[in-house]
Structure 1
Amino acid sequence: MNTRAWLETLVAMDTTSRNSNLGLIECLRDALAGHGVAAQLIHSPAGDKANLFATLPAQDGQTQGGIVLSGHTDVVPVDGQEWDSPPFALTERAGLLYGRGTADMKGFIAASMALVPEFLAMPRSKPLHLAFSYDEEVGCAGAPVMLAELQRQGLKADGCVVGEPTGMQVVVAHKGINLYRCRVHGRAAHSSLTPRGCNAIEYAARLICRIRDIADHYKAQGPYDAFYDVPFTTLTTNQIQGGIAVNTIPELCEFNYEFRNLPGMLADSIQSQVDEYVQQELLPRMRQEFAEARIDIAMGASAPALEASEQAAITQLVRALTEDRTTRKVAYGTEAGLFQNIGIPTIVCGPGAIEQAHKPNEFVEPAQLEACERFLRKLGQSLA
């Protein structure tokens, strides 16, 4: 199949992160098998999802080294969005291809799969690898499972291209993302007897304000990196719930917060400021009211930041192939930092615009898919 046919097939599969992606993964596996390529499926702990990893060997059968083409198979929900065409059916309108995942990031996977026959026919001295993951959209949960298994197997690769939508421009860095869930446990009481309770919402509010104070410090004091549109580390509280009635002191308040750290800033050192406030100031005050009060903070999803080296061979190669010398760094996260953390130099470059991601009427321009095909073809040829 060509790239458009592959994209039509992939978009038709509803791989919203809450669903299984096995149908799509098995489709890719079977297509690769038809070309004589044996793909391994690396399943989630529950077994309902899987990563796919496949190696297209060099002409002499070599499977070590070479370049990884990486993409995620899951997409974000369409719930509550108003689409002008069915989101899980590829639709062309006014020269654009609409559908959930067209930009983020089934277009890259489609182009990679469409070129498999060409890759196999190329006189390559190094292999190409395909790494397609699950659950990137909910915190890069799938790729670490795959990478741990590949490390166990002793995989070595010279570089990796993560095909997130960048307009086929080179992105050399992005922030890390770290998600946390906080549960503040107080004591319920009738609101007319306030001193007998311990108000979980009020203490959660104090902690939320402290998180905002930390964010304000980074905004005012840095460190800064002017290549980012938001050039400093950010912290935000994005969800909160608590209380059961207007006349009851709430015994529980839950909220979720995140921070997006610049490369070089350790996530643990940022979170330690939150923990220190909880342990040294907030909990002692709560326990003066209720000895069994507690605050539980659990880390959810996380993805490390990326800071690619300009001297790395993969950076220089992709810059040469795209003729793009501009330094670009982005605030959104990808799986690139995960590859970098296991010693595989990685950059981000793929078809489509990040501005289309997660929105109703998501689309990709056919010209972007064509540019991706040209890039991937040249990438394969560079391994001769």
Structure 2
Amino acid sequence: MHASATSAVDTASLMPQHADFSDWPNSREWLAHLIHFATVSRDSNLALIHCLRDALEVAGVSAEIIHDDGGDKANLLAVIGPVVEGGVVLSGHTDVVPVEGQAWDSDPFTLREADGRLYGRGSSDMKGFIACCMAAVPALVSAARDGKLERPVIFAFSYDEEIGCLGAPRMIARLRDRLPRPAAVLVGEPTLMSVVDAHKGITVIRTTVTGKPSHSSQVNLGVSAIHLAARMVTFIEDRMQARIDCGHLDERFEVPHASLHVGRIEGGTAVNITAGQCIFDWELRHLPGEDVEAMLAEIDAYAERLLVPYRERAPEVAIHSERTVETVPALGQGERDPAIHLCQRLLGEARASQAVTYATEAGQFQREGWPTVVCGPGSISVAHQANEYIDIRQLAACDRFLAQLVREQQTS
């Protein structure tokens, strides 16, 4: 049985019994343990967070738990080494997406190895990275105890990334208020250990259109919310094309323009009644540097113009939009070179950085003025899919990457 959101887990069996870390789990063992926690975003992640905290305390590292308002989810923040400037933040999210409706070949919450791959929900996105971080604890703690770790390594593990990067902001605020400025933030989303220095931002919006119901044989007495919504949907798509036509493009991205997409719509009560209400959900994925507020204001202004001809006979008509997920900022406008160069040194090669279309918490860290990139093990192509996996070689590559980070933080 996999661990539920609140069930107790025998963490002691995983922990070392001696101060020399001789039996500390490796990254594969940590991954097996972390996948056992079914931390789907709709549920609590506290059991996993407490496991990490308890393990770090065994290692002599104090970890701070930062709860959400409800108290059933939390971030974890831990500093290994001196509290000075120049630290490196290792960031990862602990939540995973659901498995319902997916055809898995085995229990998604029990690690399965086959053909050099480790299967399980979150193996790639992104418990593999967290597992490697935890496997690096002995080297970090030993260096700190010996006085060799000149700059800290900071673990920053969040909740609810998958549903809008909800947990990271309060963890980032705590990090900002508590610690000196870090030199770099490395967000370990799956990039096949390539360096990503730019991604799009995202805003998710629900628009509610209120019309005036009438019998459909007397459409002149009513106002169809569905018809108004259809015009809004078309306008939203037209604004995407307008930005393309005006050259608002960044060719580094696979989709080189802002994307505006309506993903769900419902409304009306019967075919012979003009619809009194229609609701649609849509998203804006913007390029780095684009003015999100101006783009949304343009759509709101169109909604106001659209309603003018109808208000005399139906003053109740309205179009109201609200953000169901606050804007997650893009990555790519702020300073990134220190983080890029750090990753290149850790990887042992000066490979070019990349841009990706998906969003992460990296933009939230960069918003604080901290050089931030995305670099982690596993492939985004298998994330959120049935039979999600991480190649064992990717775990090994991340282990080497973090071992080099330990050495890097010991040098001037």
TM over 0.5: yes
User: Residue 348 of structure 1 is aligned with which of 369, 374, 385?
Assistant: 374
Deviates more, 1:283-292 or 1:28-37: 283-292
Name which of 38, 44, 49 aligns with 2:73.
49
Q: Describe the superposition over 1:55-96 as per-residue Cα deviations: whole angstroms up to 9, x where unpaired.
A: 0023xxx35431000000111111211111111111112221
CA RMSD of aligned residues (A): 1.5
**TM-score under structure 1 length normalisation:** 0.96
2-side partners of 1:339 and 1:309: how far apart?
10
8 Å Cα contact 1:218/1:234 also seen in 2: no
Distance 1:368 1:324 in 2: 19
Report if the CA contact (8 A) 2:334-2:367 is conserved: no
What do the CA deviations read for 1:155-203 (whole angstroms, capped 9, x no partner)? 4211100000000011111011111111111122222332222211110
Aligned letter for 1:7? Answer: L
Rounded to whole Å, the distance in 2 between the matches of 1:49 and 1:92 is: 30
> Whole-Å Cα distance in 2 between the matches of residues 324 and 312 of structure 1?
12
Q: Which residue of 1 aligns with 2:102?
A: 81
Residue identity in the other structure for 1:49? K
Task: Tell me how far apart the structure 2 counterparts of residues 205 and 155 of structure 1 sit (CA, whole Å).
Answer: 51
- Residue identity matched to 1:23: A
SS at match of 1:157: coil
Please report how far the alpha carbon of residue 296 of structure 1 lies from its aligned counterpart in structure 2 after TM superposition. 1.2
Within 5 Å, give how 1:168-207 maps onto structure 2.
168-207=193-232
**Partner-residue secondary structure (3-state), 1:230:** coil
Change beyond 3 A, Cα 1:243–1:368: same
In the TM superposition, what are the counterparts of 1:81-100 in structure 2 within 5 Å?
81-100=102-121
Q: Distance in 2 between matches of 1:205 and 1:215?
A: 16
1:218 offset after TM fit, Å? Answer: 2.0
Give me the whole-angstrom Cα distance separating, in 1, the residues matched to 2:306 and 2:353.
Answer: 43
Shift of the alpha carbon at 1:309? Answer: 6.2
Change in CA separation of 1:308 and 1:70 when aligned onto 2, cut-off 3 Å: farther
The partner residue of 2:309 within 285, 307, 310 is 285
Q: Is the 1:174–1:305 Cα contact (8 Å) retained in structure 2?
A: yes
CA contact (8 A) 1:185 1:200 kept: yes
TM-score after normalising by structure 2: 0.89
> What secondary structure sits across from 2:196 in the alignment?
coil
Q: Contact conserved, 2:117 with 2:389, CA < 8 A, in 1?
A: yes
2:277: which partner in 1?
252
Contact 2:335 2:371 survives alignment (8 Å): no
User: Which moved further from structure 2: 251-260 or 318-327?
Assistant: 318-327
Structure 2: give runs of 5+ residues left out of the alignment. 1-24
- Whether 1:318 and 2:339 are equivalent positions in the alignment is no
Change (3 A) 1:309 1:294: closer
Alignment equivalent of 1:360, drawn from 367, 383, 386: 386
For 2:187 and 2:371, the matched residues in 1 are separated by: 11
Count of aligned pairs between the two proteins: 380
User: Retained in 2: the 8 A contact 1:227–1:327?
Assistant: no
Against the structure 1 CA distance between its residues 368 and 53, is the aligned structure 2 distance closer, same or farther, given a 3 Å change threshold? Answer: same
4+ aligned runs moved over 6 Å, structure 1: 308-311
Structure 1 residue 285: Cα displacement: 2.9
Check if 1:70 corresponds to 2:94.
no
CA distance in 1, matches of 2:321, 2:152: 44
State how far apart, in whole Å, the 1-side matches of 2:167 and 2:288 are.
22
Whether the 8 Å CA contact 1:17–1:135 is kept in 2: the answer is yes
Structure 1 residues 86, 277: closer, same or farther in 2, change over 3 A? same
The match for 2:183 is 158
- Residue 99 of structure 2 aligns with an amino acid whose one-letter code is V
SS in 1 for 2:311: helix
Correspondence 1:214 to 2:249: no
C-alpha distance in 2, partners of 1:274/1:253? 17
1:226: how far off? Answer: 1.5
The aligned amino acid for 2:28 is: R
Structure 1 residues 190-199 or 304-313, which shifts more?
Answer: 304-313
Could you tell me how far apart the structure 2 residues matched to 1:288 and 1:209 are?
Answer: 24
